[in-house]
């Protein structure tokens, strides 16, 4: 019976995959044992807990490694159980698994030098070495005991593999054999996809390196949770951080000014609340479009429009990334994302100066709020790297009656949850909330479906709902003693659906709102500004407003202090092309050559001015664009994201 249902084959397949988990566990323990002094793990049980969290990353690595082996194991080839086929499968299994497994042993030694799991960037460095054979010989001799441990593990793995053999079986019922194989194939395919992604949830992106840090409080413990094959697989094709030398350091210091320092001295440290609104593009805000002259324009943000009348708003502001996770690094740390998210890069783990570190340095209570499943979008992991003291997600909310069924807790109740939590926290506090209800598939709570009917775009009604959720949050906040000395910042992570042609233009595909509000008149946060602003200006602005007077790294500028030599500028990327905006022009740069220069008012990038010749401002703009990218990559790659 088992021959036509293939049960014996599936059992053996599971056993062979189980061996992978077993030996990855052994490699993780050895990795820790040889580097114990680098990790603050205070007990055996704490180590086991980290190993448990590591199983999710082991699953992804093992499924990547064994994808062809699994495919050949489940396809109905009839010859699957024959000795010759099984011998070939064993060769495939051990070539792929042991090659990947060996990278864990390399990191047993290499980690003490690099302080990070090896990634694609490590392979790139190795590729540039001319004496690979010599290096291999040297390290094999110097660390012979690690090589010996790998050989022992490999031989043990082979021995255990051979203990459970698949006996040859003859197919007696072809129809049942093939039909059951097809059903099993799709079931196993679904499991493999879920395993590679990290889970089956609609609201989460595939598991990434920063997700290892959501489980820990000491950042480098994330390297115990990770495994090296996973780190390499997840960074393949993602390393666009190549050092350049277009200008000298003196030019960067004089023109880009990546080190900022302000001398504001507020009477009392203000609380700070940063609200990042999912997909809430500038297009939907009436107050951001009062002077745009769009025929038939309709606002879907009545509360935000009214709040704008008492706020400092920037109607010419832009995102510096294209996805939600891009916004987290841009808004909080002033780090734009270009071809790939900085948070998904092999450099995201390093110590990073941000508004979180600034506030921690000044004694703030720091918290991050996101109503999705904990770990969704990589926020929890990156938040841990930034140094948030508290993370509040769907788990901490602990009431799935307010779950929207796909993404997480509806915005309105989650705003209220944040308000109540902040009231209980010690002061001053810095809190960040990332909303989620204005997200595809654009649903509303049942009680609001008749009230918020939206407009021509599916997102419009959700914008109305989130705007009202903000109204209710502010109504609560006004009743609390902390409100009168709190600075609120409201922006969007990125743009979304567009209706008006003005916002379909290439530059405006990054058009987001930025609003600063405080009931305390001492901060003078009122007015409408049309100068260039971006998400990466929020961090230095808050450092200025809170009275942080130490030097810090920032490619943005304070939007509230008139520093004459701080140049308004913007940089982002369409994916493969940098967009740099400064002065009177927008520049397009492919990393090697400038492909276009346009008047800053030309949001559609319709008229390329390069054929007409380059004036001095254009030449300087091109040089500044290169200088910013050069400093950006240099600081990220060489670990200079903190001013020491």
Identify the pLDDT of residue 110.
84
Share of residues in the chain with pLDDT > 90 (%)? 69
Provide the percentage of residues in the chain whose pLDDT is more than 70: 95
Say whether 493 counts as a known binding-site residue: yes
Q: From 483, 383, 507, 384, select the one nearest 433 (Cα to Cα).
A: 383
User: Does the structure show a pLDDT above 50 at 1?
Assistant: no
> 83 pLDDT band (50/70/90 cuts)?
very high
Identify whether 118 is a catalytic site residue.
no
Please give the residue that has the higher pLDDT: either 496 or 628. Answer: 628
Can you give the pLDDT at residue 580?
97
User: pTM higher than 0.85 for the full model?
Assistant: no
- pLDDT tens sequence across 490-530: 999 999 888 999 998 889 999 999 999 999 999 999 999 99
pLDDT tens sequence across 535-581: 999 999 999 999 999 999 999 999 998 887 889 999 998 867 899 99
Q: What is the pLDDT of residue 131?
A: 58
3-state DSSP helix/strand/coil % of the chain, to nearest 5: 50, 10, 40
**Quick one: pLDDT at residue 204?**
60
pLDDT, the chain, mean:
91
Summarize pLDDT for 222-280 with one digit per residue, the tens.
889 999 999 888 878 766 788 999 999 999 999 999 999 999 999 999 999 999 999 99
Place of tokens 């800053």: 600
Instruction: Check whether 602 is labelled as a binding-site residue.
Output: no
Task: Look up residue 447 and give its two tokens.
Answer: 């009680």
**Residue whose token pair is 């951080």:** 241
What is the C-alpha separation between 179 and 540, in angstroms, rounded?
Answer: 62
b/e per residue 303-334 (b: at least 16 CB within 10 A): bbbebbeebbbbbbbbbbbbbbbbbbbbbbbb
Given 287, 324, 376, 437, the catalytic residue: 324
Domains of the chain, earliest start first? 2-235 (no CATH), 242-257+563-643 (3.30.1120), 264-560 (3.40.720.10)
pLDDT band at 219 (very low <50, low <70, confident <90, very high): low
Averaged pLDDT, 165-177: 83
- The predicted pLDDT at position 314 comes to 98
Q: How confident is the model at residue 171 (pLDDT cuts 50, 70, 90)?
A: confident
Q: Taking residues 387-415, report their average pLDDT.
A: 95
Say if residue 325's pLDDT is above 90: no
Rounded to the nearest 10 degrees, the angle between the axes of helix 144-163 and helix 7-34 is 160
Stretch 608-625: mean pLDDT: 96
The one-character DSSP state at 237 is T
Confidence at residue 176, expressed as pLDDT on a 0 to 100 scale: 84
Quote the tokens at residue 250. Answer: 């003196």
pLDDT score at 200 = 65
Least confident of 34-48, 54-68, 397-411, 533-547: 34-48
């Amino acid at each position: 019976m088992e021959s036509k249902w293939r049960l014996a084959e599936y059992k053996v397949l599971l056993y062979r995959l189980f061996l992978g988990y077993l030996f990855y566990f052994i490699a993780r323990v050895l990795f820790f044992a040889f580097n114990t002094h680098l990790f603050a793990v205070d007990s055996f049980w704490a180590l086991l807990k980290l190993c448990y969290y590591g199983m999710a990353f082991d699953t992804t690595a093992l499924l990547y490694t064994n994808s062809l082996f699994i495919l050949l194991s489940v396809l109905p080839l009839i010859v699957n159980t024959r000795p010759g086929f099984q011998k070939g499968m064993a060769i495939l299994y051990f070539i792929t698994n042991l090659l990947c497994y060996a990278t864990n042993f390399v990191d047993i030694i290499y980690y003490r030098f690099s302080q990070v799991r090896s990634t694609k960037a490590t392979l790139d460095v190795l590729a540039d070495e001319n004496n690979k054979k010599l290096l291999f010989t040297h390290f094999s001799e110097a660390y012979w005991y690690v090589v010996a441990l790998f050989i022992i593990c490999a031989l043990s793995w082979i021995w255990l593999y051979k203990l459970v053999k698949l006996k040859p079986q003859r197919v007696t019922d072809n129809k049942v054999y093939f039909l059951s194989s097809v059903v099993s194939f799709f079931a196993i395919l679904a499991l493999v996809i879920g395993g590679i992604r990290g889970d089956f949830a609609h609201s989460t992106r595939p598991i990434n390196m920063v997700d290892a840090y959501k489980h820990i409080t000491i950042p480098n413990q994330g390297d115990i949770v990770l495994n090296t094959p996973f780190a390499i697989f997840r960074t393949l094709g993602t390393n666009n951080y190549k050092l350049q030398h277009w200008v000298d350091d003196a030019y960067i210091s004089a023109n880009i000014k990546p080190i900022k320092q302000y001398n504001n001295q507020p009477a009392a440290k203000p609380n700070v609340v940063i609200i990042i609104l999912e997909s809430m593009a500038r297009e939907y805000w009436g107050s951001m479009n009062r002077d745009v002259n769009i025929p038939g324009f309709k606002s879907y943000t009545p509360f935000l429009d009214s709040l704008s009348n008492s706020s400092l708003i920037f109607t010419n502001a832009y995102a510096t990334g294209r996805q939600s996770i891009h916004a987290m690094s841009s808004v909080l740390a002033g780090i734009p994302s270009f071809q790939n998210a900085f948070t998904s890069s092999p450099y995201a783990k390093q110590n990073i100066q941000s508004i979180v570190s600034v506030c921690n340095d000044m004694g703030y209570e720091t918290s991050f709020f996101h109503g999705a499943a904990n770990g969704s979008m990589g926020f929890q992991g990156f938040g841990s790297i930034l140094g948030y003291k508290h993370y509040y997600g769907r788990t901490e909310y602990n009431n799935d009656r307010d779950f929207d069924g796909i993404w997480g807790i509806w915005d309105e109740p989650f705003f209220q949850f944040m308000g109540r939590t902040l009231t209980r926290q010690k002061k001053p506090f810095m809190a960040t909330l990332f909303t989620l209800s204005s997200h595809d598939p654009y649903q509303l709570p049942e009680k609001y479906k008749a009230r918020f009917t939206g407009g021509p775009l599916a997102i419009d009604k959700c914008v109305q709902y989130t705007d009202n959720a903000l109204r209710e949050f502010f109504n609560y906040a006004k009743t609390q003693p902390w409100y009168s000395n709190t600075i609120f910042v409201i922006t969007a992570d990125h743009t979304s659906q567009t209706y008006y042609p003005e916002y379909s233009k290439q530059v405006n595909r990054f058009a987001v709102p930025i609003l600063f509000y405080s009931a305390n008149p001492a901060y003078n946060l009122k007015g409408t500004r049309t100068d260039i602003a971006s998400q990466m200006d929020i961090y230095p602005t808050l450092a200025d407003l809170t009275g942080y007077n130490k030097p810090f790294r920032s490619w943005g500028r304070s939007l509230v202090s008139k520093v004459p030599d701080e140049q308004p500028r913007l940089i982002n990327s369409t994916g493969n092309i940098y967009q740099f905006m400064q002065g009177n022009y927008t520049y397009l740069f492919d990393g090697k050559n400038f492909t276009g220069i346009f008047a800053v008012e030309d949001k559609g990038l319709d008229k390329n001015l390069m054929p007409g010749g380059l004036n001095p401002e254009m030449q300087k703009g091109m040089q500044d664009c290169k200088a910013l990218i050069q400093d950006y990559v240099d600081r990220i790659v060489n670990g200079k994201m903190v001013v020491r």
